[in-house]
């Protein structure tokens, strides 16, 4: 064993099998960086020397290394003069000695006596924690306090070894069927491991009797918190806006006296005065729709020839917006028309007359696109404001290119119109704003913090059991205003929607199915039941998500799919 020019440190760990003799594993590690003042260091985690040392009393009754062995890469043992160990121990290149914290402190008492006898600086003696599983596999992973994971047997592990235990257990219980795991699920497991630093606690989530209501800290993935907002976006009054007085009166009657932040930001960016085209991105319930109303209805009231066109991707959302506008603006005597496709029961002349006379048209993309493609754009008149809601449809692989072409046709036909694009979320907002030729207006803060939880279920039966617990618990809780907590459960097919509803009803939960197969009258009854808290929630298809505007405290995704396709982050 020759001398080394590089700085290093030595780690000693008591061999468990040698109960009587003072036999220690000894490993030498090269240091990459070392700062003595702050004691920060980085190292090469593969030791350049592995061996064992036997300590005992010499002829002067002093603790000294009596036997020193090197363990070769092939496992063979080579004896080395024990005085060489002392030489390296006291070398100036040896920056510190580390005792493995996995060994009881008293095991190192004789070694401390020896080092004291050698006049070894106490400040250079430290304790390090290594991953036990890694040590058993001749790997050396030093763990700081934040990365020490307690195993089932109370041994200290690294997060990677703890993850391997979790993965094997999940596979054994049938939660995972393949050797490869989805990256996001792996990240969730790692998140839980680092959060609790206890393998046993993480494994409780896999138990058949696991209760998500009483173990919310285990299922919690993250919290989207409410961040501080500039005060100027919280104090802007409706009364101070440059809009017709009758519109101010209508809004105040709806108890809207102040703008929400996204609305104030939009106005600041020229919504009303410069009539700028805008891509408006804000969370659900952030107030995007009113941005469109402020611009569109103001123009209609000033000039009935500057009509407002509000475009949506699905019929349910067209129904919702139409009823909202009619209720909110009934004092303004505006003609509000819904257009969702060709009617089989009305004469074409009547449809055309209604369209040309309408002040506000709420329509599906396809309904207006059909009119434009047919060359009948004269029947819809001129638009001063065109709003494209749920514009994230542009990134949809099936409908995106159709919407892209539709928007292009609208821009050609209505060059003077103000275009407003609304979305709750988008991956590349700046890029899309450039493509659409508009100003990006963005507000990411949610009105209230949102907790996201992930529950692992072995089968469909356990899913229903967990959904039942969650819906019951939410409805049992009351807000400070006396309102019960209601839930929306999303699934991927109409059949599953009815099936889940049936299963929950059997468990004594008052809940209704809410999907596109219902008539408008049936939907209104369910919406009224929900708003008057006669039911604890609804089970809806994900395809109808854009048309569900019910004040729920809890949203449960029974399936992360829409039909046979997985939901995207934007969806």
pLDDT digits (tens, 9 = 90+) for 281-297: 998 778 999 999 999 99
Domain extent, residue 356, equals 231-442
pLDDT-based confidence at residue 170 (cuts at 50, 70, 90): confident
- The pLDDT value recorded for residue 388 is 97
pLDDT at 427 over 80: no
pLDDT at 177 over 80: no
How many angstroms from the chain centroid is the CA of residue 311? 29
Q: What is the DSSP letter of 243?
A: S
pLDDT-based confidence at residue 546 (cuts at 50, 70, 90): low
pLDDT-based confidence at residue 344 (cuts at 50, 70, 90): very low
What is the mean pLDDT of the segment spanning 435-462?
Answer: 86
- The pLDDT value recorded for residue 297 is 97
Least confident of 294-298, 427-431, 465-469, 482-486: 427-431
Let me know if residue 264 belongs to a domain.
Answer: yes
- 310 lies in the same domain as 214: no
What is the mean pLDDT of the segment spanning 506-526?
Answer: 89
Sign of the dihedral defined by the CA atoms of residues 190, 192, 195, 201, in that order: negative
- The pLDDT value recorded for residue 243 is 96
What's the number of domains the chain is made of? 4
C-alpha to C-alpha distances, 77 to 52, 68, 140, 524, nearest whole angstrom: 9, 10, 20, 82
What pTM, to 2 d.p., does this model score?
A: 0.68
What is the mean pLDDT of the segment spanning 456-478?
Answer: 91
- 277 lies in the same domain as 384: yes
pLDDT-based confidence at residue 3 (cuts at 50, 70, 90): low
**386 in Cβ contact with 311 (< 8 Å):** yes
**Arithmetic mean of pLDDT over the chain:** 88
Give the C-alpha separation, 292 to 358, whole Å.
17
- Among residues 130, 146, 171, which one ends one of the domains? 130
**54 in Cβ contact with 21 (< 8 Å):** yes
Q: Could you tell me which residue, 227 or 494, shows the higher pLDDT?
A: 494
- The pLDDT value recorded for residue 545 is 63
Let me know if residue 1 belongs to a domain.
Answer: no
Let me know if residue 140 belongs to a domain.
Answer: no
Task: Please report the DSSP string for 378-417 in residue order.
Answer: GGT--EEEEEESSGGGGG-TTTHHHHHHHHHHHHHH-TTS
**SS3 of residue 514 by DSSP:** strand
- 306 lies in the same domain as 376: yes
pLDDT at 174 over 90: no
pLDDT at 38 over 80: yes
- Among residues 425, 442, 459, which one ends one of the domains? 442
- 340 lies in the same domain as 464: no
pLDDT at 135 over 90: no
pLDDT-based confidence at residue 476 (cuts at 50, 70, 90): very high
- The pLDDT value recorded for residue 345 is 43
Short-list 543, 529, 454, CA closest to 496: 543
- Among residues 442, 471, 496, which one ends one of the domains? 442
CA angle 298, 304, 307 (to 5 degrees): 70
Percent of the residues in the chain that have a pLDDT greater than 70, as a whole number = 93
**SS3 of residue 450 by DSSP:** strand
Sheet with 537-541, edge to edge strand ranges: 511-514, 537-541, 487-491, 554-557
Q: What is the DSSP letter of 76?
A: -
pLDDT-based confidence at residue 348 (cuts at 50, 70, 90): low
Short-list 390, 387, 343, CA closest to 547: 390
- 347 lies in the same domain as 244: yes
What is the mean pLDDT of the segment spanning 130-144?
Answer: 83
Short-list 336, 340, 306, CA closest to 416: 306
Least confident of 114-118, 173-177, 207-211: 173-177
- The owner of tokens 């969370």 is 283
- 247 lies in the same domain as 328: yes
Compute the 3-state secondary structure of the chain and give helix, strand, coil in percent, each to the nearest 5: 40, 25, 35
What is the mean pLDDT of the segment spanning 70-90?
Answer: 92
- 241 lies in the same domain as 384: yes
- The pLDDT value recorded for residue 332 is 95
CATH code of the domain in which 245 resides: 3.40.50.300
Let me know if residue 395 belongs to a domain.
Answer: yes
Give the C-alpha separation, 75 to 199, whole Å.
32
- 115 lies in the same domain as 194: no
Beta strand 22-35 with 49-57 is antiparallel
* pLDDT tens-digit series, residues 409-423: 999 999 999 999 999
- 402 lies in the same domain as 431: yes
pLDDT at 560 over 80: no
**11 in Cβ contact with 100 (< 8 Å):** yes
Least confident of 179-188, 196-205, 385-394: 179-188
Give the C-alpha separation, 127 to 39, whole Å.
12
- 111 lies in the same domain as 208: no
Q: Could you tell me which residue, 474 or 378, shows the higher pLDDT?
A: 474
């Amino acid at each position: 064993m020759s001398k080394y020019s590089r700085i290093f440190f030595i780690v000693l760990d008591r061999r468990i099998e040698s109960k009587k003799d003072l036999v220690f594993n000894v490993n030498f590690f090269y240091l990459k960086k070392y700062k003595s003042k702050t004691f920060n260091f980085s190292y090469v985690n593969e030791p350049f020397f592995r061996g064992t040392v036997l300590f005992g009393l010499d002829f002067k009754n002093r603790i000294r290394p009596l036997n020193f062995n090197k363990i070769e890469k092939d496992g063979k043992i080579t004896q080395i003069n024990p005085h060489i160990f002392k030489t390296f121990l006291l070398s100036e290149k040896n920056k510190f000695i580390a005792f493995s914290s996995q060994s009881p402190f008293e095991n190192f008492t004789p070694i401390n006596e020896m080092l004291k006898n050698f006049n070894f600086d106490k400040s250079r003696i430290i304790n390090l924690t290594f991953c036990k599983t890694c040590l058993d596999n001749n790997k050396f992973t030093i763990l700081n306090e934040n990365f020490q994971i307690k195993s089932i047997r109370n041994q200290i592990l690294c997060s990677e070894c703890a993850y391997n235990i979790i993965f094997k257990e999940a596979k054994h219980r049938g939660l995972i069927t393949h050797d490869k795991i989805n990256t996001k699920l792996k990240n969730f497991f790692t998140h839980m491991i680092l959060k609790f630093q206890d393998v046993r606690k993480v494994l409780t989530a896999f138990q058949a009797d696991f209760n998500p209501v009483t173990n919310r800290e285990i299922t919690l993935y993250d919290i989207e918190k409410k961040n501080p907002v500039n005060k100027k976006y919280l104090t802007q009054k409706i009364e101070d806006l440059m809009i017709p007085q009758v519109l101010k009166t209508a809004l105040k009657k709806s108890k809207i006296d102040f703008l929400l932040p996204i609305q104030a930001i939009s106005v600041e960016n020229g919504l009303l005065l410069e009539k700028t085209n805008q891509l408006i991105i804000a969370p659900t319930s952030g107030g995007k729709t009113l941005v469109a109303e402020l611009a569109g209805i103001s123009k209609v009231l000033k000039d009935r020839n500057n009509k407002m066109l509000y475009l949506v991707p699905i019929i349910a959302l067209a129904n919702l917006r139409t009823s909202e506008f009619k209720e909110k603006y009934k004092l303004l005597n505006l003609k509000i028309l819904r257009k969702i496709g060709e009617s089989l029961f009305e004469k074409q002349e009547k449809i055309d007359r209604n369209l040309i006379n309408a002040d506000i048209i709420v329509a599906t993309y396809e309904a207006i696109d059909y009119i434009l493609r047919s060359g009948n754009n004269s029947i819809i008149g001129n638009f001063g404001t065109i709003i494209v809601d749920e514009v994230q449809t542009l990134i949809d692989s099936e409908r995106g290119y159709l919407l892209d072409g539709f928007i292009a046709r609208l821009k050609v036909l209505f060059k003077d119109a103000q275009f407003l694009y609304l979305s709750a979320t988008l991956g590349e907002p700046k890029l899309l704003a450039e493509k659409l030729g508009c100003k990006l207006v963005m507000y990411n803060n949610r009105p209230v913090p949102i907790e996201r939880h992930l529950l692992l279920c072995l089968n469909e039966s356990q899913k229903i059991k967990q959904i039942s617990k969650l819906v019951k618990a939410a409805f049992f809780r009351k807000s400070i205003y006396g309102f019960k907590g209601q839930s929306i459960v999303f699934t991927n097919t109409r059949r599953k929607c009815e099936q889940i509803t049936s299963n929950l009803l059997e468990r004594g939960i008052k809940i209704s199915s809410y999907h596109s197969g219902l008539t408008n009258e049936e939907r209104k009854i369910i919406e009224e039941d929900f708003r008057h808290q006669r039911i604890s929630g609804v089970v809806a298809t994900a395809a109808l998500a854009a048309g569900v505007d019910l004040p729920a405290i809890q949203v449960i995704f029974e399936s992360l799919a829409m039909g046979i396709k997985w939901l995207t982050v934007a969806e």
